[in-house]
Each structure stands twice: as C-alpha cells, then as structure tokens.
A and B are shown apart, each in its own frame.
Chain A
Amino acid sequence: MPRIGVFVCHCGLNIAATVDIAKVIDRVSQHPAVAHAEDYIFMCSDPGQLLVQGKIQELGLDGLVMANCSPTLHERTFRNAAALVGLNPYLVEIANIREAVSWPHMKEPERATEKAIEIILATVEKVRQNTELHTIKVPVTHSVMIIGGGVAGIQAALDCADAGLEVHLVERTSSIGGMMASLSETFPTLDCPQCILTPKMTQAGKHPNIRIHAYSEIEEVSGFVGNFQAKVRHKATYIDWSKCTGCGVCMTVCPTKKIPSEYNHGMANRTAAYIPFPQAVPNRAVIDDKNCLWLLKGKCGICAKKCPAEAIHYEDNTEIEELEIGAIIVATGMEVLPVEHFGEYGLGKIPDVVTGIQFERLLAPSGPTAGKVQRPSDGTEPKEIAFLQCIGSRDPANYKPYCSKVCCMYTGKQAMLYKHAVHDGQAFVFYIDIRSDGKGYEEFIQRAMEEEKVLYIRGKVSKVFEDEGKIVVWGTDTLTGKWIELRVDMVVLATAAVASSGVNELASKLRITTDEHGWLKEAHLKLQPVETLTAGIYLAGAAQFVKDISDTVAQASGAAAKAIALLSKDHLERVPIIACVDQDLCVGCGYCETFCAYGAIAVDPVTGKAEVNEGLCEGCGGCAAHCPSGAATLTNYGKKQVFDMITTFTNGQVVQ
C-alpha cells in the first residue's frame, strides 16, 4: 500500500473559514493509502514547508497531496520542497481547495467541505498511481537561424552574433535590407536608410559569427528546440559568388533591361544580371533565369564574356545545405497589397497613381529620379498631390479589417518630404483618423500640418479618374459633410500592409501558425509576443504584425534575447510529462500521429509501432485520448488514474 501524506492548508482563514478542516483531516485519514494527514495555517510558509519535509523523512511518505491554493501558485514550491528531501517532485500533486472550493462556495460550508474532501481523495487516487519522473535533458546546438534579412533579421543577427552564437541569416532576395532599404527617409527622425541601415548591413556582412545565406529559402525544418535540422536551398544564381567581386560589369552589358526592379518597386527597371542596389550585402550579382536570354533561348552570353572575374557559368548551381540549429527567429516582414488591387483608385491604370512604397522611391535621393519628385507619366514636377490613407485597411468588407499602422506616419513623412522637394507644391491628405502614437510621432504630424502646410481632409475618396492630364479625386469631407473635387497631378495610395508572400508555407514547415491574414502568431499577444507556441522558434519585426522600425528593432532584440537565453546552457531541461507508447499494445494505426500538432509521435515504418520524440512532445495528452487501444498514454495522466478520480467523484472513496 502506498504511503501518501495529505497536507491541508488553512490559508489563514481563506480556506479554514469555509472548509471544516478537522472533518477533512478525519475523513481523508480513513483512506487506506493515506499514511498521514495534517493541517497547518500557512503550508507554503517556511515552517509549513519544513513540516512537510520533516514528515516525508520521518514517515517515509511516497507521495503527497497538498490541499491548498491553485497549482498555478504553489505546485512548484511544494515539488521543490519535496525534491530537497529526496521525494520525486512528480509524486506531489495539488488539490485545489481554495480557488475551487472555499472561495466560490463561501455560503455553503458543509457542501464545500464535502467537495474539498472529494477533491483531496480524487487527488490521492491520482498521485498513488503517479510514477517518478526525471527532467529530460536535451543537448543544444549553439546556433541561431534567422529567416528574413530585413532590419529585424539584421538586428537579431547582430545581437545573437555579439553574444557569441553562430548565426545563419537566410534571405530570399540577393541582398539583406528588406523594406527599409527601399525607403527615402524614415519618420520621425528623417534619417535616411543609407545613414542608419547600411552600416548595420555591412556589420552583419563582416561579422565573424554571421553567415548570410542570400538568395536562399527554407526547404525543410525538422527536429525540435535546441536541435533543429534545417535544409536551406541556395537558389541558382548562375554566378560563382566566390569569384564575383560585385563590380557590376554584367549589369552594364546585359541587353535585357526592361525588368521592373523589385528594389524600386517598379519605379525603375533592372537588367537580367543584376545587383539589386549599390549598397547590397552581399554585394554579388545574380542572373534572373526568368529573363536571361542565354538561359531562356541560348542566345547572348555576353556577360560571361565580359565578366572580368570569369564568375559567370550559366549552370544551375542550386544547392541544398543542411544546418544544425538551436533556435530559429522568423523575421519575414511584410509587403503591401499588390498593385493588381485598387483599380477603383486608378492603380495600375493611371500611371501617376502610385503606392506609398513606390513614392518612397521617387523621394529617395538614391532612387531612379535622384530624389527629384517627378510624375512617372511625363517626368514633370507634380504641383499638387493627393495622398489617400487607409487604402485597403480598416475595410473588412473588401480588404483587410486591421489598421496598417505605419501609413498615417509615412504619409505625413512623404507629404513633408514632397514639400521639401517642391516648395510651391500643395499636398492633400485624405484620412479617416490620424494614428500617431509613438514617441515624437504626434509632434511630427503637427509639423507636417502646421509648418509644411499639408492640408488634411477627413474623409474617404469615392472615385479617382483621369481628365485632361489631371487626376480628379472625388470625395467627401466628413467633418463638414461637403462634397469635394480635387484636380491633382499625382495620387499616392497608402495601401494595406500584408504578411509576406509564402509565409503560410514557411509557417507549416516550421510548425508554427499564422492568423487568418497570414501574420505569424505569437504564444500570447500580451505576455509572450516574441515566442511562438513551438519551443525554440521566435518572431521578430513586421512578420508578426505591421510595425515601424523602432518597434521592429525592439522586438528583434527581444527575440534575440530569448534565443540567447535559451542557448546559454549546454542542456535544455524539459518537463517529463510527455506521451509514451506501449509497444505491445500499439497496433500502428497512426491515429496518434494524425493528432499531434508537433509531429512528436509517429508510426515507425519499420516496426509499425508509434514512437514518441521526447524533444518534440509538449505533453498535451491528445494522442493518448485519440489512441483507441490505450497504447499511447500521457505519463501520470493514465486512463486508470482519471477513471479512479471519476469513481471518487461519483461514488466516494475508491478503496475502502
């Protein structure tokens, strides 16, 4: 017969005022498995814990039921106390008789006492069938893989690398930098990305602990926290990067010149052999196989002839590299809704209607117009510009229900920069609300309105169309109720931000989740905003939801700190409450495998039996409930344990 000790806490009067403690002690003592039952005024206090420890040693107790507050509060306290005197912590269970009994049943002391007794007895049934468990130790790989080389990925990479971790920064385009590299200047400080981002990019490129896998994507990720295996696909560049010096000769000779530049968001063209922008890191050229004449038709080949480094070979040099990874940070950022949308505002039809990110390029000193604001249609300087906010945002009926968060601010910035460039120009901003809730943000918008005389009109635009070289904007001013018609030279649409393309496929490879719009899901919006529900995978930057640069960088450092903390030890400790499979019982039906969201249990094709991966199992117990034969179980949550608890609740004490 097991020797269970039951310790009942008064919690001052919190429990004792409602629950008849003496009666509880009397009744639970009668259970044959209960070797000792005792009460105390504050069991969690030092003397309380000493009392419990003393009894464990004195009476040789082999299991404890601590009847007190919710397990969320003191389960750990009592488990540690027991462990200190040699009782396996997993032989200690809490019977919650405060939150679940004395507090919600204050007016019914008798029935509360009965309920407390039953809860304790049921817990006795559970604990007597518990087995000793030992923390699972798993070794860790001291490396981090960061997916996405925007400012978030760069910041996280630098932080991790400075902490001594090996960093693999995987970026699908041929240069790191992300959206920020395409910006003109940044609100609210008006720093240019060349001034603040380029140095970070260079630093990342030179850091001895950072390896940049540019032009690469994630093929597959397996394994678990501390021990991921990643396959990274280095896409075909057709140029040997160990030879390429980034001189750019291939770009100048390439005859295919009419490809819209991704970096310039279509405001300029690029060649088929190209380096996306002068500050690119790594500064290496790639050949775009969808446009290269040689690769498509076997004609041309000029770049190979002219390349001074003889780096070009037109061979598919796709390579899959396998990496051992301890932690993963996902920083895949965002995009704006593609131009195919918003025909109603003339986008894609009227050349002088552009998106915000396109206008950034027209403002940028490094851009195709060298910072001169010019209409894409005829190169003239626009004297009047209308900026339309919330295009596709806050529009649950047609596009996205959420607020894209950065548009108010960048529209203000763009209007301001436009005024700096065209002193006699007039900027109009159509807005629904102005959201300027960051440090210095409201002041920034006020400056745009007051100093730069940007005209803010509260209202929505109903129609945008061309008329005799002008663009006509119809709308209503919702403050005055007046109908408005503006004739302007250009229109800039602050289109909704959306999650990066392909993020859903990536998420499923990583076994993390996205919300309905594709934003990566955090473990808890408030309290675990950088963690995901998959241990060892963290989020940084706009991939989780639209963010401005300050928030992006802050979260990136947060994610880096989490990864650094995780990998600061040689071993990871995991709670040993996990699934296990009785190999004789298992019939290999695979129900458990279909259940597990972590891929932690699977039927071995050779043995035909399910096996649990201790590193991956999160201990939810779902496979056990899904397994008909009872072959899969969750340790210390056996079916018989639950059955006996049920028996106690429906029939009273199980064994007399």
Chain B
Amino acid sequence: MTDKDRKGEGKAAAGDDFEPVIVGFFCNWCTASAADLAGTSRMQYPPNVRPIRVMCTGSVDTSFVLRALLEGADGVMVGGCHPGDCHYVTGNYRARRRLTGVIKILEALALDPERFRFEWISASEGAKFVKVVTEFTEDIKRMGPSPLKGL
C-alpha cells in the first residue's frame, strides 16, 4: 500500500467515513501521563490523535502548530498542566500567551481557528483526556477535511 492510499482516509470528503488526522502535543508531566492513565484504565477513545510528547507546553513552537495544520492535520491539540501546576513553573502561562497569538491569527484571517485546541489536562485527569479527545475528534469530523492542507 502506498502512502497515498493509506492517507486516503485523511483525504476522504466530509461524511461518515471521514477520519480526521489530529496531531497532539502533550506535556510530559501532565497530559501525556493522563493519556497513559486513560490507557491503563482501558478507557476507549478514537485513535485519530497522534501524540507527540513534549517536555512542557512552553516548548510548543508556533511553527509546530502551523506546520501541522498546513501539512495536513485536520486538527491540532495541545495539552498541558493546569495554570499554576507547570513542572517548569511558568511554561504553561507562556504557552498560553504564545499560542493564543496563533489562534488570533487564524481567527483574523478566518482560517478555521476551531481546528486548534489548547487544554489543561492534569496527570490525574485520564477521563478528561478521553472526553476532550473524543469531543475534538467529533468536532473535527463535523467540520470535514481541513482546507488549510497544502495552503
């Protein structure tokens, strides 16, 4: 199977069989652990999210988000420690400022800002992780394939 066939799922038109590609940047200290907890607890959620473990949301570059969206992700999610709980003290506050900038750019130019989601999910919130991922996958499915791909 070629990559094109395989990625056919991402390319399918909006509809019941559209399976979005979602890239998730998960903080090592919280959301990645929440995902581990969800897995360990055998909670089920859609497999669309492809996780990238980062040391802290503070290390999520604006270019990571844009790159993912422009390269074909139908959604991008960043999950980090709740305000006040960042392992590196203030990384999440900084990330919130920085990535809010990206959201505002997408908003200003009507480039589907809803395709980007930033959530606080602590290590103990396996259930929240599942809820957020499931909802986000549903939302993106409803929106259909991203028009930003290949822009």
Tell whether, in the assembled complex, residue A650 and residue B40 are in contact, meaning their CB atoms are under 8 Å apart: no
**Bound CA–CA A107/B7 (angstroms):** 21
Contact B71 A634 (CB under 8 A): no
Tell whether A106 pairs with B42 under 8 Å between CB atoms, given A112-B47, A119-B50.
Answer: yes
Contact B36 A99 (CB under 8 A): yes
Evaluate contact between B54 and A626: CB separation under 8 angstroms: no
* Contact between chains at B98 and A647 (CB < 8 Å): no
Instruction: Decide if B73 is an interface residue (CB 8 Å cutoff).
Output: yes
B87 to chain A: which residues have CB within 8 Å? 533, 620
- Name the residue of chain B whose CB is nearest to the CB of A108: B47
Question: Could you tell me the distance in whole angstroms from the C-beta of B123 to the nearest C-beta in chain A?
Answer: 10
Contact in complex: B42, A104 (CB < 8 Å): yes
Please state if B52 and A122 are interface contacts (CB–CB under 8 Å): yes
Q: A99-B36, A103-B40, A642-B52 are in contact. Are A622 and B59 (CB under 8 A)?
A: yes
CB within 8 Å of A: which B24-63 residues: 33, 35-36, 38-40, 42-47, 50-56, 58-63
Q: Is the CB of B59 within 8 A of A621?
A: yes
Min CB distance A465 to B, Å, is 42
Given A99-B40, A597-B88, the answer on whether A624 and B3 have CB atoms closer than 8 Å is no
Residues 98 to 152 of chain A near chain B (Cβ within 8 Å):
98-101, 103-108, 111-112, 114-115, 118-119, 122
Contact with A along B103-147 (1 / 0, CB 8 A): 000000000000000000000000000100000000000000000
Q: Is A314 an interface residue (CB 8 A)?
A: no
Instruction: Indicate if the CB atoms of B42 and A595 lie closer than 8 Å.
Output: no
Q: How many residues of A contact B (CB 8 A)?
A: 48
Q: Which residues of B contact A119 (CB under 8 A)?
A: 50-51
Which chain A residue has the least Cβ–Cβ distance from B10? A650
Output the nearest chain A residue to B40 by Cβ-Cβ distance. A99
A461 to B106, CA, bound (A): 57
Are A624 and B61 within 8 A (Cβ)?
yes
Taken together as a complex, chains A and B put the C-alpha atoms of A118 and B73 apart, in Å, by 14
Q: Contact mask B70-84 → A, CB, 8 Å, 1/0?
A: 011100000000000
Name the CB-closest residue of A to B84. Answer: A515
| Residues of chain A with a CB closer than 8 A to B23's CB | 646, 649-650
**A622 and B36 contact, CB distance less than 8 A:** no
Least Cβ distance of B122 to chain A in Å? 12
Smallest CB gap from A643: residue in B = B67
Question: Could you say which of A99, A108, A624, A651 contacts B39, with CB atoms under 8 Å apart?
Answer: A99
CA distance A111 to B21 in the complex (A): 12
Which residues of chain B have C-beta atoms less than 8 A from A96's C-beta?
Answer: 36, 51
Chain A residues whose CB sits within 8 angstroms of the CB of B73 once the complex forms: 646, 649-650
A626 near B98 with CB under 8 A, answer yes
Let me know if B36 and A618 touch, CB within 8 A. no
Using known A-B contacts A621-B59, A650-B73, determine if residue A645 contacts B52 with beta carbons closer than 8 Å: yes
User: Closest chain B residue to A533 by CB distance?
Assistant: B89
For A71, list chain B residues within 8 Å (CB). 53
List, in ascending order, chain B residues with CB within 8 A of A643's CB: 63-64, 67
Bound complex: CA A178 to CA B53 (Å): 46
Pair B59/A625 contact, Cβ less than 8 Å:
yes
Task: Tell whether, in the assembled complex, residue B88 and residue A650 are in contact, meaning their CB atoms are under 8 Å apart.
Answer: no
The residue in chain A whose Cβ has the minimal distance to the Cβ of B99 is: A625
Nearest opposing residue in chain A for B63, CB measure: A639
- The complex places the Cα of A27 from the Cα of B88 at a distance, in Å, of 38
B67 → chain A closest CB, angstroms: 6
Q: How far is the CB of B22 from chain A (nearest CB, A)?
A: 9
**B40 A651 Cβ-Cβ under 8 A:** no
| Set of chain B residues within 8 Å of A100, measured between Cβ atoms | 35-36, 39, 51
Q: Does any Cβ of B come within 8 Å of A72's Cβ?
A: yes
- B139 to A: closest C-beta gap in Å: 18
* Bound CA–CA A647/B23 (angstroms): 10
- B41 vs chain A, min Cβ distance (A): 8
Contact A621 B58 (CB under 8 A): yes
Binary per-residue interface labels of chain A (614-639) against chain B in the complex, 1 for a CB within 8 Å, 0 otherwise: 00001111101110000000100101
- In the complex, whether B100 has a CB less than 8 A from a CB of chain A is no
Find out whether the CB atom of B59 lies under 8 angstroms from the CB atom of A624.
yes
List the A side residues contacting B90 at CB < 8 Å: 597
Q: Which B residues contact A (CB, under 8 angstroms)?
A: 3, 6-7, 10, 19, 21, 23, 33, 35-36, 38-40, 42-47, 50-56, 58-64, 67-68, 71-73, 87-91, 94-95, 98, 130
Q: Beyond the given A107-B44, A118-B50, A621-B56, could you list 16 further A-B residue pairs with CB under 8 A, ordered by the A residue number?
A: A71-B53, A72-B36, A96-B36, A96-B51, A104-B45, A577-B55, A620-B55, A620-B58, A622-B58, A625-B60, A625-B62, A646-B52, A649-B23, A650-B10, A650-B73, A652-B6
Would you give 5 A-B contacts (Cβ < 8 Å), ordered by A? A99-B36, A99-B38, A104-B38, A104-B39, A115-B47
Binding site for B on A (CB under 8 A): 70-72, 96, 98-101, 103-108, 111-112, 114-115, 118-119, 122, 513, 533, 577, 595, 597-598, 618-622, 624-626, 634, 637, 639, 642-643, 645-647, 649-653
Nearest 7 pairs between A and B by C-beta?
A621-B59, A99-B39, A652-B3, A622-B58, A650-B72, A620-B88, A103-B39
